[in-house]
Amino acid sequence: MVTEHLFDTREELLSALQKECVNALQDAVQARGKASLMVSGGSSPGPLYEQLSQTDLDWSAISVALVDERWVEPGHDKSNESLVVNTLLKNKAAKASLTGMKNAAERPAQGLAECEAAYRKLPQPFDLTLLGMGPDGHTASLFPHAEGLDKALDLNSDALCAAITAKQSEVTGEYVERMTLSLKGLLSSRRLILLITGDDKLEALRAAQAGTEVADMPIRALLQQNQVPLTVYWAP
């Protein structure tokens, strides 16, 4: 259930994706009185978050939560929570609530139970989950052959969150300890959006679609499933 929208410019992509996000959140609030928006870090979604922050929505009824997080304190320049606070949770969207992943535990595995408890309080299924993808085929913090990956991909587990220690690379940078939604958590969504830009990401997507080994490119777990609609938004 993969749909692709390939655009000529990032401006066209952002315009179309903003409309999809707004419609999904409006529909959820109208139908159920509340909505949940799961958001990723990285450079690509920042402009989208800036646009959404100016949008007329009942933000007080919308719960925003992170898809994944480096195990760094809020305020750190590599913190996804900080990115979301600085780009999305302002202007009209300042009334939305935010659930972060980083807590007082020294390591993600030690903070997993607390994070899981917080995420179980969110409206489920999550109405909209925004994802990115690295050139290595990771999504969320599901990195190839990472410590904890098998557990995070295990659909026999009910856990929404997972602790990950990635193999350090140019993609991971120095912060390899992460908290992330598990595959079960990602599939606890009504719809999934994969936002990617650049020729390298499109090449990575095509490579992921051409193979089957999930541990090599964990994005394949989402490309191969048929539970939740996945829409790809790409621009150069």
Residue 153 lies in a domain: no
- In tens, the pLDDT along 22-53 reads 999 999 999 999 999 999 998 899 999 999 99
**In the numeric block, which tokens belong to residue 21?**
């996000």
Residue 155 lies in a domain: no
Q: How far apart (Å, rounded) are the C-alpha atoms in residues 183 and 138?
A: 12
Cα–Cα distances (Å) from 8 to 3, 92, 235, in that order, read 17, 29, 6
- In tens, the pLDDT along 131-140 reads 999 999 999 9
pLDDT at residue 1, as a whole number: 84
Residue 179 lies in a domain: no
Residue 173 lies in a domain: no
- In tens, the pLDDT along 129-173 reads 999 999 999 999 999 999 999 999 999 999 999 999 999 999 999
- Which CATH number is 66's domain given? 3.40.50.1360
Range of the domain at 49: 2-133+186-235
- In tens, the pLDDT along 68-119 reads 999 999 999 999 999 999 999 999 999 999 999 999 999 999 999 999 999 9
Residue range 175-202: mean pLDDT, rounded: 98
Beta bridge partners of 181: 161
Q: How many structural domains does the chain have?
A: 1
Picking from 153, 166, 234, 165, the residue whose alpha carbon sits closest to that of residue 196 is: 234
Residue range 197-202: mean pLDDT, rounded: 97
Residue 142 lies in a domain: no
- Helix 46-53 and helix 80-87: axis angle, to 10°? 40
Coil, strand, or helix at residue 53?
helix
Q: How many CA atoms lie within 13 A of 143 on its CB side?
A: 23
Residue 170 lies in a domain: no
